[in-house]
Amino acid sequence: MGNGLFHQLLTPIGHSTGLSFLVGVIPIAVVLVLLGVVRAPAWISALSGLIVGLIEAIAGWQMPFHLAMSSIGEGMVFAVWPVMWIVWNAMWLYNLSQRTGAFAQFRDWMYRYATDDRRIQLLIIAFGFGALMEGIAGFGTPVAIASALLVGLGFPVLEAVTYALIFDTAPVAFGALGVPIVTLGSVTNLNVNALSSMVGRQLPIFAFILPFYVIVVMGGWKALKGAWPVALVGGLSYAVTQFAVANFLGPALPDVLAALVSLVCIVLFTRVWRPKDTNLFRSFVHLGAHNETAATVEGGSTGSLWRGWVPWLTVTGVVIVWTFLKIADIGQRKISWPGLNDQVYLTLYQKPYDAVWAFQPLATGTAILVAVILTALFLRAGWKTFWLAAADTWKQLVFPILTVMFIVGLAYLYNYSGMAYTLGVAVAALGSWFPFFSGFLGWIACFLSGSDTSSNALFGNLQVVAANRLHLNPVLMAATNSSGAVMSKMISPQNVTTGVSTGELRGKEGLVIRRTFWHSLVLTVLLGILVTLQAHVWSGMIPKP
């Protein structure tokens, strides 16, 4: 422990990489088993995993108690600000749209002017609109809002959440206007545009596949047989745009532009073409039922269905302007975390581990709050409606906030104790198998933190170290960390607990994870095959560092 620092132990269990790995994954296994098998509420599962992780960090990895508690504390504060600050305001916007009738009008617009075919509704809402929300806010809000829209159109709740979660893989790496890729560049010292290009040569393949994949999940091959042309239009338009923007413009706009292009293409295409078997897949509910619902909502009116677009166009515009003017940087303060900053020695990288919390009073969540206020003004919502929507948000998010605090606290404990690097070193020791399994490093980190950004901060540099040792391209392996992370968003407790917060599945996150877990594994394995080919067969297509 020289120099007064806590030196992370990489193989503390019997001085064995394998044994240390097996013990290190126990807290993750506890969370998964409690959620998926025992079906415990997400906050209890996350707290249990955190307690097991704390015991292991102190007893196994020899971490001093005060450092362990301080790292958990930093993670919990980060979970509240900026993560749940973004989620809170996005959900407030959703609830305001509910109480003003705008949400019902958006749903009615979908039914009247877009389509009454469930397969096409799924592509417009969960794929296109969900990707747009991921590009702006992320952190589970696309799932919550998109699934609520699907339920409003008559989809069963569990199916709606499942579809929205699976679709939320394609846009995640470029979410929040490219923050995950920018973070990856900063921790690896690799060119951000090269990383953007590389991720843009992986995820568009999955974006192209997903419309076909989810339609088959929804209704089998019979459903795809009638709707494959619109799946082709939606998937191809999204994939081509995401590829082009990621490779030629950078990481900020691939999601927003790809989502908008895909939405426009799907809607225009279905103006001139419709499936011959729509009668077999017609929406569960009728427009008249929608209008009755809208009319009963405070302030609701079905005469002007354009009002349904006001909240979403407003938040899109505000966040894009906010980001490009770099308003979030105004008033930013970097706070050295008490008792933790530079008190841990990163054995793997041979340097002290900083612990700095960047407090941004004008973070993305604040931008969304501005959109909430503007939406209230545009829709002429009264003060009562405005604050009742805030009360709705509190009821929905009190347990998700606890869940996210516990799971991100566990993620930070993994980081500072060295447990995370033990897992990484074990995977990196796979040698020639590393390209196939490298995506699972991002998968593990995103499961813990719920964030592609946090996953990149944790394992991005480890991927580069392993790549250099194994004579692999560092840009490919770093990008794979980000692409692998997106595959576990659909099982991350943070993402799922926010995603179910608007409906009757609150507290039943395990049901959802049981449905999405195998899809997550299948997609990560497909990514592993792609990366192996890119590393050994198509290496000439990899951007230079």
Can you give the pLDDT at residue 336? 93
Confidence check: pLDDT of 330 > 60: yes
**Dist. CA 409–CA 30, nearest whole Å:** 15
Determine contact, residues 17/429, Cβ cutoff 8 Å: yes
Q: Phi and psi (nearest 5°) for 48?
A: -65, -45
Closest CA to 488 of 532, 437, 524: 524
Looking at per-residue pLDDT, the higher value among 465 and 475 belongs to 475
Burial state string for 376-402 with b = 16 or more CB within 10 A and e = fewer than 16:
beebebeeebbebbbebbeebbebbbb
Q: How far apart are CA 69 and CA 81, in angstroms?
A: 18
Q: 525 pLDDT exceeds 90?
A: yes
Does residue 100 surpass a pLDDT of 50?
Answer: yes
pLDDT number for residue 304: 66
Q: What percent of the chain has pLDDT over 70?
A: 94
- Residue in 130, 186, 92, 60 with CA at minimum distance from that of residue 397: 92
Q: Mean pLDDT, to the nearest integer, of 165-174?
A: 89
- Residue 326 tokens, joined: 């770099």
> Which two three-digit tokens encode residue 160?
């709606």
Q: What is the mean pLDDT of residues 17-38?
A: 90
Range from 30-39, 105-114, 412-421 carrying the lowest mean pLDDT: 105-114
Confidence of residue 83 (pLDDT cuts 50, 70, 90): confident
323 or 330: which leads in pLDDT: 330
Residue 202: closest CA among 178, 169, 228, 234: 169
- Residue 449: pLDDT band (50, 70, 90) is confident
Report for 358-362, 504-508, 541-545: range of highest mean pLDDT? 358-362
Residues 6+ apart with CB under 8 A from 533: none
Handedness of CA 420, 421, 422, 424 (dihedral sign): positive
Q: Which residues contact 122 (CB under 8 A, 6 or more apart)?
A: 150, 155, 163, 214, 215, 218
| 55 CB-near residues (< 8 Å, 6+ apart) | none
Name the residue with higher pLDDT: 75 or 204: 204
Residue 3 has a pLDDT of: 60
- Tens of pLDDT along 30-72? 988 898 888 888 899 989 999 999 999 999 999 999 999 999 9
Per-residue pLDDT at 284 = 61
- Provide the 8-state DSSP code for 307: G
Q: What is the pLDDT of residues 192-206, one digit of tens each?
A: 999 999 999 999 999
Average pLDDT over the chain reads 87
Mean pLDDT, residues 110-119: 80
Over range 280-285, report the average pLDDT. Answer: 74
Least confident of 335-339, 359-363, 495-499: 495-499
Which helix (DSSP H) or strand (DSSP E) does residue 521 occupy? helix 509-536
Per-residue burial over 432-467, b = 16 or more CB atoms within 10 Å of its CB, e = otherwise: eebbbbbbbbbbbbbbbbbbbbbbbbbbbbbbbbbb
The structure tokens 């609109």 sit at 129
Model confidence at 288, pLDDT cuts 50, 70, 90, reads very low
Cβ neighbours of residue 393 closer than 8 Å, sequence gap 6 or more: 88, 91, 92, 95
What pLDDT is attached to residue 138? Answer: 66
Which of 3-12, 260-269, 285-294 is most confident?
A: 260-269
- Judge contact between 26 and 55, C-beta under 8 A: no
